[in-house]
Structure 1
Amino acid sequence: MTADRDPGLQPERTRLAWRRTTLTATVVALLAGRQALHSGATPAALVAVALSALAWLGFLLVAHRRVSVLGVARPEQFAPRGALTAALCTVALAVFAAAMLF
């Protein structure tokens, strides 16, 4: 016999954490674009900005899907594919931002 689990405010806290993380990714992508514009619009910088935008959009898609799922009392578990996508987009944003500095 399994007892019903009361999730309490855990789904709400997780949803808020996803929103904060999405906001952080947005700021990183915007700062990358700003850095590219201030350092001169070289082809390499424009490619890095475009790749940063793609990584940001990928993360935004994963986050939106996850936040939507967390709107119920008993949300589904986060799929490994979604977690891998979010992690890869985060690492890609960091790499592209670092590439623009050099």
Structure 2
Amino acid sequence: MKKVNPFYKTAAWLKCREVALIRDNYLCQSCLKNDRLVSAEVVHHIKELELYPELGLTLDNLESVCASCHNKLHPVKGKGKKPDVKKRRARVIEVKANIERW
């Protein structure tokens, strides 16, 4: 399991997160674009924190999203890498009645 970045426990982040949620009326901005009203639980960094740490507390780089949309934005972080599953094909066997027995 990946460790949580200590940044997400700082008072500055928690305050900035709250401001972003209030700004977005606690609504998922991705769903809102599709005319759906869904509560936001996550504040997403548009430009990733790991790549742009200087934008970590910049409101213009934050958007409120629901967990489902956040997992779509970060499929590897949300659910882990999906296993490579091969499609299985069912073999169909055609069976005919034995005419000689009837």
Q: Which has the higher strand share?
A: 2
Q: Which has the higher helix share?
A: 1
| Structure number, greater radius of gyration | 2
What's the TM-score, normalizing by structure 1?
0.26
What's the TM-score, normalizing by structure 2?
0.26
Higher relative contact order (CA 8 A, sep 6+): 1
